[in-house]
Amino acid sequence: MSDSLIVERDNGVVTLTLNRPDSLNSLDAELREALRDTLGELDTDPDCRAVLLTGAGRAFCVGQDLREHANILDSGTDDPLRAVREHYNPIAARLGALNRPVVAAVRGMAAGAGASIACLADFRIGGPSTRFLMAFANVGLAGDTGASWSLPRLVGHAKATELLMLAEPVDAAEALRIGLLGRLVEDDDQVVPAARELAARLAAGPTTAYAAIRRQLAIGGAGSLADALAAEAAAQQRCGVTTDHTEATRAFLAKRRPTFTGR
C-alpha cells in the first residue's frame, strides 16, 4: 500500500513496520493513511490471527511529523489538527477494537502519537534503549490517539496526569515498573524477535476467545459490574459454540495439547 508502511505475513502473524527511519518513523499523512486503512482491512482478514507493530531503524515512532505540521500551520488553515479526526482517531479506534491480539515491539523512542499507539497494544516489549514520552504538552497540545483512555488503564489516573502534563521521558526500567512495558529484554536486538515469538504464540491460540477478552476488558474497565457481567455472558455464549472450545475441552480430557483454529 505504501513504502512507509511495510506489511509482512507469516503463519497468521501480520507484522506492520513503520518505515520512515530517517525521521524516526514520524507520522506523515502517507503513513497515517496507510496505517489507518491497513488496520481496517486486517479486522476482516481471515488469515490475520495476530498483529505485530514495530518501527524500522532505531525508534518505534516519535509521533506527528512536525515539519509537515509546521507547513500546515503556515498555510493559514482554520483546522490545523484535522488529522486527529481523519487519521489519529480512526487509527486508535481500529487498533483498540481489532479482533486480533496486538503486540508492540517498542525499540527506541515512542513519543506523542507513537507512544499512544504502543499503549493501545495488548502487549509491549522493550529493550534498554526504549523510551516513552507523552510529548503533546511540549508543543502546546493535549493528548490524542487514545492516550486519555489507554494511559489511565495502564498506569493509573495520577501517573497518567503526570506523564501527559509534565511530558518528561520515561526510560525502559521505569516503563516496566509502572506498566508501560510488559516485558523488558536485555538487548535491543532481542526486542523484535521476542515480540514476534509472542505474536506467533498468540496466532496459534484461541483467537476468537482473545477477541472476546479484548472486548470484555474494554467494557469492564469503564462500566459497572452489571455491564461487565453482561459482557462476560455474551462473550461466553459466543466462545462456547466455537470449535476451539470443543477441541480444547476434548484435548484436556485426553491429556493432549489442543489445536486451535480461531473458529
Phi-psi region of 56 (alpha: psi -120 to 50; beta: other; left: phi over 0): beta
Residues 229 and 134 in one domain: no
Same domain, 140 and 218: no
Please identify every stretch of the chain with a pLDDT value under 50, giving residue numbers as ranges: none
User: How would you list the strands of the sheet with 13-18, edge to edge?
Assistant: 5-10, 13-18, 50-55, 102-106, 123-126, 183-184
**Calpha distance 259→152 (Å, rounded):** 36
Quick check: is 260 in a domain? no
193 and 215 in a single domain? The answer is: no
Task: Classify 14 as helix, strand or coil.
Answer: strand
Same domain as 131, residue 69: yes
With beta carbons less than 8 A apart as the criterion, state whether 52 and 196 touch.
Answer: yes
Q: What are the φ and ψ backbone dihedral angles of 55, each rounded to 5 degrees? A: -125, 145
CA-nearest of 59, 2, 76 to 192 is 59
Residue finishing a domain among 164, 184, 203:
203
Q: What is the CA radius of gyration of the chain?
A: 19
- Give the pLDDT of residue 98: 94
* Per-residue pLDDT at 77: 83
Q: Which three cell numbers stand for residue 120?
A: 493501545
Same domain, 75 and 18: yes
| Cβ-contact 132, 180 below 8 angstroms | yes
Residues 128 and 175 in one domain: yes
Count: domains in the chain = 2
Q: Is residue 215 assigned to a domain?
A: yes
CA torsion 203-3-169-194 (nearest 10°) is: 30
**Burial of residue 159 (number of CB atoms within 10 Å: 0-12, 13-18, 19+):** middle
Cell of 52: 505485530
Amino acid at residue number 5: L
Q: Is residue 263 part of a domain?
A: no
The pLDDT score that the predictor gives to residue 68 is 84
| Range(s) of the domain holding residue 238 | 207-253
Residue 261 lies in a domain: no
pLDDT in tens, 152-169: 999 999 999 999 999 999
Q: What is the pLDDT of residue 1?
A: 55
Co-location of 17 and 138 in the same domain = yes
Beta bridge partner(s), residue 105: 125
Q: Are strands 123-126 and 102-106 parallel, antiparallel or unpaired?
A: parallel
Looking at residue 262, what is its pLDDT?
85
List the CATH number of the domain containing 175: 3.90.226.10
Name 246's Cβ contacts closer than 8 Å, sequence gap at least 6: none
User: In this structure, are 39 and 96 located in the same domain?
Assistant: yes
In this structure, the answer to whether residues 248 and 162 fall within a common structural domain is: no
